[in-house]
Amino acid sequence: MRLTLHVWRQSGPNTAGKLETYPMDGVEADMSFLEMFDMLNDKLTLEGKEPIAFAHDCREGICGSCNMMISGQAHGPWKGATTCQLHMRAFKDGDEIWVEPWRAKAFPMVKDLVVDRSAFDRIIQAGGYVSVNTGGARDANEILIGKEVVDESMDAAACIGCGACVAACPNASASLFTGAKITHLGLLPQGQPERDRRALAMVEQMDIEGFGHCTLTGECQEACPKEISIDVIKRMNRDYAVAAVRYVEPKETAGAG
């Protein structure tokens, strides 16, 4: 099939970028969207032009690297799929496709379609973990967790950190990402001791990074390749509010003697 691509090209963080148009021919329905980009890049290379930089790695929808805004939809038109899982049979001959990077202040531009998503790492650093050092764990079956609870926790834990939620959100909010981690750990017994601290610290970091707020448009849930529910945002809000009221920083007196 023939397609017309409009792809965002920008040589670096501090230069101006623009949409370049590339006519494509010989695209096959069985190709993945990224394989079409491979084809385009091969062509550009042989023409002596610089290929388009784009993030990708596993190409099976789990590493969270790929991030294309495809004609206004994060990861393109297929629900519950990443860009690398999108196949060209989603399009038809003669289609025009716009490809842009995720756009958010908290995701600074790197090059072409590549942006810096390290803000997500810093949100996790703020508290997205259970503080247990290696070696001290008790037997795994001593902690009883009902199937329903662990399933709900797993739904949230499925987040791949791709940033589609931010990209699709009209406010560039990271609420779905942050809420997913707070929900994953907040539902489990292992996550209880640090639940308040975690919610406070992660939400604060999310704000520091410059993400917007949640207006519950539902766009994130729709764009999420793992179909994480906005229920996780509800949990984050509640956990944050409860923590804001009841959490008191511990006094620095422990360990005396």
Partner 1 sequence: MIELNSNIPAGPVEQKWDKHRFDMKLVNPANKRKYDVIVVGAGLAGASAAATMAELGYNVSCFVFHDSPRRAHSIAAQGGINAAKNYQNDGDSVQRLFYDTVKGGDFRAREANVYRLAQVSVNIIDQCVAQGVPFAREYGGLLANRSFGGAQVSRTFYARGQTGQQLLLGAYQALERQIALGKVKMHTHAEMLDVVVVDGRARGIVVRNLLTGEVTAHSADAVVLATGGYGNVFFLSTNAMYANVTAAWRAHKKGAAFANPCYTQIHPTCIPVSGEHQSKLTLMSESLRNDGRVWVPKKQGDNRAPSQIPESERDYFLERKYPSFGNLAPRDIASRAAKEACDDGRGVGPGGLGVYLDFAESIKRLGQKTISERYGNLFDMYQRITDENPYQLPMRIYPAVHYTMGGTWVDYNLMSTVPGLHVIGEANFSDHGANRLGASALMQGLADGYFVLPYTIGNYLAGVKPEKVDVTTHPAFTDAVRAVKAQGEQLLNIKGKRTVDSFHKELGKIMWDKCGMARSREGLQEALVEIPKLREEFWRNVNVPGSGASLNQSLEKAGRVADYLELGELMCRDALHREESCGGHFRVEYQEDGEAKRNDEEFAYVAAWEWTGDGQPQRLHKEPLVYENVKMATRSYK
Partner 2 sequence: MSYLARFWDSTIGKKFVMAITGIVGVLFVLGHMSGNLLMFKGAEAMHEYALLLRTSMPLLWAARGGLIVAVLLHALAAYQLTQRSNAARPQQYAKTAPQVTTFAAKTIRWGGVLLLAFIVFHILHMTLGQVAAPGFVHLDPYNNVRQGLANPLVAGFYVLAIGALGLHLYHGTWAVFRTLGIARPTPTPLKRRLSVVLAAAVVLGFAAIPIGALAGAFPDAPSPVMAEGH
194: amino acid identity, one letter: E
Interacting residue with partner 1 among 60, 108, 213, 216 (CB under 8 A): 60
> Binding to partner 2 by residue 221, rule CB under 8 A?
yes
For every residue of 192-209, DSSP letters joined together read STTHHHHHHHHHHHHHHT
The position carrying tokens 């023409």 is: 47
For every residue of 75-111, DSSP letters joined together read T-SSTT--GGG-BGGGS-TT-EEEEE---BTTB-EEE
Closest CB 140 distance from partner 2, rounded Å: 26
Here's the x/- map for partner 1, 86-105, by CB under 8 A: it reads as -x-x----------------
> Binding to partner 2 by residue 88, rule CB under 8 A?
no
> Binding to partner 2 by residue 145, rule CB under 8 A?
no
Which of these, 226, 177, 234, lies nearest to 205 by C-alpha position?
177
> Binding to partner 2 by residue 170, rule CB under 8 A?
yes
> Binding to partner 2 by residue 236, rule CB under 8 A?
yes
Question: Which of partner 1, partner 2, none does residue 87 bind to, with CB < 5 to 8 Å depending on kind?
Answer: partner 1
Write the CA distances from 246 to 2, 174, 207, integer angstroms.
Answer: 60, 24, 21
Chain-centroid distance, C-alpha 86: 16
The whole-angstrom separation of Cα 98 and Cα 138 is 52
> Binding to partner 2 by residue 19, rule CB under 8 A?
yes
Question: Which of partner 1, partner 2, none does residue 145 bind to, with CB < 5 to 8 Å depending on kind?
Answer: partner 1
> Binding to partner 1 by residue 10, rule CB under 8 A?
no
The whole-angstrom separation of Cα 20 and Cα 222 is 28
Closest CB 74 distance from partner 2, rounded Å: 10
Question: Which of partner 1, partner 2, none does residue 15 bind to, with CB < 5 to 8 Å depending on kind?
Answer: none
Stretch that binds partner 1, among 2-10, 17-25, 113-121, 212-220 (CB under 8 A): 113-121
Q: Site for partner 1 (CB under 8 A): how many residues?
A: 79
> Binding to partner 1 by residue 14, rule CB under 8 A?
no
Give the footprint of partner 2 on residues 187-206 (CB under 8 A).
203-204, 206
H or E element at residue 244: helix 231-246
Reduced to 3 states (helix: H, G, I; strand: E, B; else coil), residue 70 is strand
